[in-house]
Structure 1
Amino acid sequence: MRADHSGRAQAPGEGREALLEVRDLVKHFPLTQGVLFRRQIGAVKAVDGISFDLHKGETLGIVGESGCGKSTVAKLVTHLEQPTSGTIRYKGEDVTRLSGRALKAVRRNIQMVFQDPYTSLNPRMTVGDIVGEPFDIHPEVAPKGDRRRRVQELLDVVGLNPEYINRYPHQFSGGQRQRIGIARGLALRPEVIVADEPVSALDVSVQAQVVNLMERLQDEFGLSYMFIAHDLSIVRHISDRVAVMYLGKIVEIGTETEIYDHPTHPYTQALLSAVPVPDPESEGKRERIVLEGDVPSPANPPSGCRFRTRCWKAQQRCADEEPALAVPENFAATLPDEPVHHPSACHFAAERATVIPPVG
């Protein structure tokens, strides 16, 4: 196999600057026992050695079921959590080794939009204080006398009335609150925004509005997104590339077309088969893949391939040897621009017909 952890051969617009380079990222949370004398008896392997790149102006979607480590990756990239090992490079500089002013400068360029629009906003602060708070931490961005105007401009950019600046979060709907969160993320003019399931708590119609807003802002401000979600339809709509995670590992990564129309990993195929199809005729033609068993504990993952305990292709090799995230051997001879020529962490990777809703 030809290793290609970053999936860069599949990135649209190859040659663009890689803003983020994540290599062999690991985050283990210790499991302890005892009251007076605590000792570590194990670890929850939330993220266990993932690698990817995020290019300038690109949207990288990260999908997977609950507990696979998506949100932990978001916290590591934004330095809300310290990694156990691995590197996160922003424009070539390893941010995991930074502290003080150097880290503060990098954090200004990597902002986060949180999942819950209700708990992510302080109910005791006005909208003006919430959106303007980044200016208190980074006063060089906006002088004190200019902050009110800047906040009103940000509210206007995200589609809110600038006169709402003195209102409180409880006076807004869920979609409006998420727009406030996006305005706060844009305040410092970052280059990268990590969106951790930003629409999962919203109604379907509001989800479309927020996703369309994010696409418009990306074009307007030249943003790069890490878009984390479990809704495969939304991820397909907004993403240039997609990484599929399972139990702390990336199992497949490629362009939107490669992942959705030509999936080669069994887990990706199972996920796509579960997406509802509005057309009864198409729904009747496709095969539903039902996975047996439960997701293994991240504190004690299976040996070799972590998906093998639920995979219909599993053989002894899957237990003995961990598959590399690489172009599978049976596709290595294909041309780089062919859709099956993308990294997939499976010893027996193969295409499988999947019917999913088209991009809206």
Structure 2
Amino acid sequence: MTVDGPGALESPAEAAFAQEVASGEPILEVRDLIKHFPLTKGVLFKKQVGAVKAVDGVSFDLMQGETLGIVGESGCGKSTLAKVLMNLEPATGGSVKYKGEEISKLSGAGLKAVRRNIQMVFQDPYTSLNPRMTVGDIIGEPFEIHPEVAPKGDRRKAVQDLLDVVGLNPEYINRYPHQFSGGQRQRIGIARGLALKPEVIICDEPVSALDVSVQAQVINLLEQLQGEFNLSYMFIAHDLSIVRHISDRVGVMYLGRMVEIGSDLEIYEHATHPYTQALLSAVPVPDPAARESRDRIVLTGDVPSPANPPSGCRFRTRCWLAQERCATEVPLLAVPAWLSGLAAHESACHFAAERGETTPGEQSESG
């Protein structure tokens, strides 16, 4: 039983949230996470005729103190995944554990305790801040919901300290969002995310709306804050170069599923999934000579609808390695037994191999 207010009794879950997690141990464990949005027909008597499978069986761990980058093309389910982890969207199925405690079904005081420890930085700094509130009110609003973090008399000083931490003048506390540039607004969003001293911050494309020079400033700020406050980040982005710069590990999503996950070196230099290889081949190269000589992978066909994904491997309709097995058997996200070295990381492909190499399975299928 949990009682709100001063002297509240802690539930077992809330007590677990206060425990320390050692560096390198999982702080967030996601298993077979599913989020389907129903498709209905009719006006008065609505009947479900299908579902958009935005997230469909995603599994990964976020370690204490690390940055896990999530990449993939638009519509693959990255932002939906972030919202489900925050419980802004209820999960259709699967499990999300924070410090070993299931949080996907929490509500009330339990959910409030989770959200103090897991915060989010949103994509658009123009719409994520209330234009009618001052910066002081925006950053200080979490203290109204969690008064135990900062007593009322200390809140102004706490907000000014947060502004200073993210590189803004503490005297800006009475200004409004429209008086700031895009990069400054994103810093305000980061300050709001830090207000409750969280352990995990989910960054949903936090720099995609910013200029390149400002992107670098915000990325450097995030790295600096991670060292100062021992934060764990889940960093969602389209820009593969930014993800490589900030991430310890990288997960690649396609049509609601994780298709490959590994360290930044494993993914960028030893990718084994065809989709990851196609993504990396599309990264712009600043050297004109290298740009002309490199071998691009141009995918044919459109991305299938998440309301009606292909059977078996979801990437098979655009994959140059696809065989009959790919249409009938769903590939598991696991380390392929035939790979070694840096290529031996989790990849959801029946014929996982580094680019230009073949696998024993691929040879037997074609032979």
Contact 2:129 2:177 survives alignment (8 Å): yes
**C-alpha distance in 2, partners of 1:179/1:97?**
31
Which residue does 1:28 correspond to in 2?
A: 36
1:287-319: CA deviations, max 9, x gaps?
000000000000000000000000011111100
Is 1:176 the counterpart of 2:214? The answer is no
Which residue does 2:325 correspond to in 1?
A: 317
Point out the more displaced range, 281-290 or 61-70: 281-290
Give the Å deviation of 1:102. Answer: 1.4
Higher RCO (CA 8 Å, separation ≥ 6 residues): 1
Report the TM-score when normalising by structure 1. Answer: 0.92
Runs of 4+ deviating beyond 6 Å: none
1:117-172: CA deviations, max 9, x gaps?
00000000000000000000000000000000000000000000000000000000
Q: CA RMSD in A?
A: 1.0
Which residue does 1:134 correspond to in 2?
A: 142
3-state SS of 1:252 partner? strand
Of 116, 120, 129 in structure 1, the residue corresponding to residue 128 of structure 2 is: 120
3-state SS of 1:295 partner? coil
Of 343, 346, 367 in structure 2, the residue corresponding to residue 343 of structure 1 is: 346
**C-alpha distance in 2, partners of 1:17/1:269?**
29
Matches within 5 A, 1:164-203: 164-203=172-211
Which ranges of structure 2 fall in alignment gaps of 5 or more residues?
1-21, 357-367
Give the Å deviation of 1:103. Answer: 1.4
Which residue does 1:254 correspond to in 2?
A: 262
Is 1:216 the counterpart of 2:218? The answer is no
3-state SS of 2:62 partner? strand
Give the Å deviation of 1:15. Answer: 7.0
Report the TM-score when normalising by structure 2. Answer: 0.90
1:169-220: CA deviations, max 9, x gaps?
0000000000000000000000000000000000011000000000000000
**C-alpha distance in 2, partners of 1:329/1:141?**
49
Which residue does 1:143 correspond to in 2?
A: 151
3-state SS of 1:112 partner? strand
3-state SS of 1:313 partner? coil
**C-alpha distance in 1, partners of 2:231/2:337?**
36
Of 59, 74, 77 in structure 1, the residue corresponding to residue 82 of structure 2 is: 74
Which residue does 1:207 correspond to in 2?
A: 215
Of 250, 260, 273 in structure 1, the residue corresponding to residue 281 of structure 2 is: 273
**C-alpha distance in 1, partners of 2:221/2:173?**
20
Structure 1 vs Structure 2: percent identity of aligned residues?
Answer: 78
Which ranges of structure 1 fall in alignment gaps of 5 or more residues?
1-13, 354-360
